[in-house]
Amino acid sequence: MERSPLDDPLLAPVKDDEQPGGDGDDDVASSQLLLQQGMGASFSRSCLNISNVISGVGMLSVPYALAQGGWLSLTLFALIGAVCSYTGELVGRCMSAGGSGAAVRSYPDIGQLAFGRPGRKAIGAVMYTELYLVAISFLILEGDNLDKLLPGTGVALPGGYLLRGKQLYTLVAAVVILPTTWLRDLSVLAYVSAVGLVASAALTASLVWAGVADHGFHARDSNVFSLAGLPTSLSLYFVCFSGHGVFPTVYTSMRNKKDFSKVLLASSLLCSLNYALTAVLGYLIYGDDVKSLVTLNLPSGKLYTRVAILTTLITPLAKYAVVIQPITAGIEEKLSLAAGQGTLTRAAISTAVLASTVVAACTVPFFGYLMSFIGSSLNVTVAVLFPCLSYLRIYMPRGRVRPAEVAAIVGILVIGVCVAVVGTYTSLHQIASTFS
């Protein structure tokens, strides 16, 4: 019987002799997706991998982003999608620049090819920070949605302290996630992570259900354009198209690497349509009252609310271990833990990382603001600045970049820097204002 590509796991351990550069703490992206075995991943499987990377928790905040920027911000959403698709193509070109003699398999490898060891370290540091904050946002998402699904639950602790609401559910989610962080082979989690694509479609269907059954579709309290909310809107839009750190691994896994551009385009268009549909539906239903998590607007007790929340709970639970695994691997590398050694120490490291993200999630429970900060500072850096700078550094000395393309890339860099600076300041100011 012919072997089906669906029999291949999305994730699997990477052999030591396949690690580029031999530094475990630098291979951030290569630990997140499988370098497919045999002849490599097919076109359709590669589309699934890219779509699974792009489609994430950003979907829950796009209605809020639209409310912040107004209807005209959808043109900027399309522009950002096009820019991120182009910079993703630049990542593919940087991968091919290594040739057969250079092992370029991860984003930090591109940094080293372009800027040497300092480039590898800089890209690795930014990605570690991004992954850590994304892990925190997963826990915030779990706490918010569980509190919406099961409101009013509390647990009395010794000493008269009552643990309830979002903090309680954040801890519950952490307990459920904890065993998955101890796994070294993440192939089982990959199949569960693929359900995130189904969850995205289920969320959109739930919004349609809510509009038809209760609220209806109208432009109540809507605005055409809001300059004040534009930085937040742009930052959240960038979150939707992040995932460039994993693109090199998908590129390496492909059976026909020349199809990478087509795979990226098809996946970006599919995810963009789903994002845009979710944003428009959420804003048409709830107007400017839409919350940073659109699921928080859904009325309690309704069947479509339970469906939406239950499906959105799956993705963070499944992807948390995948997100923090590069972080724990980096710590293990610093502690010089060899393969097969220090099992208890590895479990302790994973537990400590999880505990730290729980504390952070309970301290800064502002999902929209946190995602805005991630989008403006880190996602823009990884998705726009690094690909453009690396591409120019690699190809310009070879005389293979046309003047028109240089001008376009410089324009993208200027826009990226502006969004990063203004968006970071705005998101930090919003977070700080909640404590004042």
Domain boundaries along the sequence of the chain: 28-433
What pLDDT sits at residue 306? 85
302 neighbors 210 (Cβ within 8 angstroms):
yes
DSSP codes, 15-51: PGGGSGGG-TTT-TGGGTS---STT-B-HHHHHHHHH
Predicted confidence (pLDDT) per residue in 285-310, tens digit: 988 889 888 888 888 778 888 888 88
The larger pLDDT score, comparing residue 329 to residue 133, is at 133
What is the average pLDDT across 192-213?
Answer: 79
What pLDDT sits at residue 388? 97
The rounded distance, in Å, linking the Cα atoms of 368 and 347 is 31
- Beta bridge partners, 154, equal 164
What pLDDT sits at residue 39? 56
Average pLDDT, the chain: 79
CA distances from 138 to 235, 258, 345, 361 (A): 18, 34, 25, 9
Alpha carbon 129 to chain centroid, angstroms: 12
SS3 376: helix
- The DSSP code for 151 is T
Predicted confidence (pLDDT) per residue in 146-158, tens digit: 887 888 788 877 7
Over 70: is that where the pLDDT of 3 sits?
A: no
Element (H, E) at 74: helix 73-97
Phi, psi of 92 (to 5 degrees): -60, -40
Q: How confident is the model at residue 392 (pLDDT cuts 50, 70, 90)?
A: very high
The rounded distance, in Å, linking the Cα atoms of 48 and 26 is 25
The rounded distance, in Å, linking the Cα atoms of 89 and 387 is 9
364 neighbors 85 (Cβ within 8 angstroms):
no
Please state the length of the chain: 436
The rounded distance, in Å, linking the Cα atoms of 17 and 130 is 27
Predicted confidence (pLDDT) per residue in 38-71, tens digit: 456 778 777 877 887 787 778 888 999 999 999 9
The larger pLDDT score, comparing residue 406 to residue 193, is at 406
- The DSSP code for 315 is H
What is the average pLDDT across 24-42?
Answer: 47
Q: How confident is the model at residue 12 (pLDDT cuts 50, 70, 90)?
A: very low
251 neighbors 242 (Cβ within 8 angstroms):
no
99 neighbors 107 (Cβ within 8 angstroms):
no
Nearest alpha carbon to residue 103 among 93, 112, 116: 112
| 28-433 CATH | 1.20.1740.10
Over 80: is that where the pLDDT of 211 sits?
A: yes
Q: How confident is the model at residue 102 (pLDDT cuts 50, 70, 90)?
A: low
The rounded distance, in Å, linking the Cα atoms of 310 and 296 is 13
Over 70: is that where the pLDDT of 117 sits?
A: yes
What is the average pLDDT across 73-94?
Answer: 95
Alpha carbon 109 to chain centroid, angstroms: 20
Q: Where are the alpha helices (DSSP H) in 165-240?
A: 165-181, 187-193, 195-210, 230-240
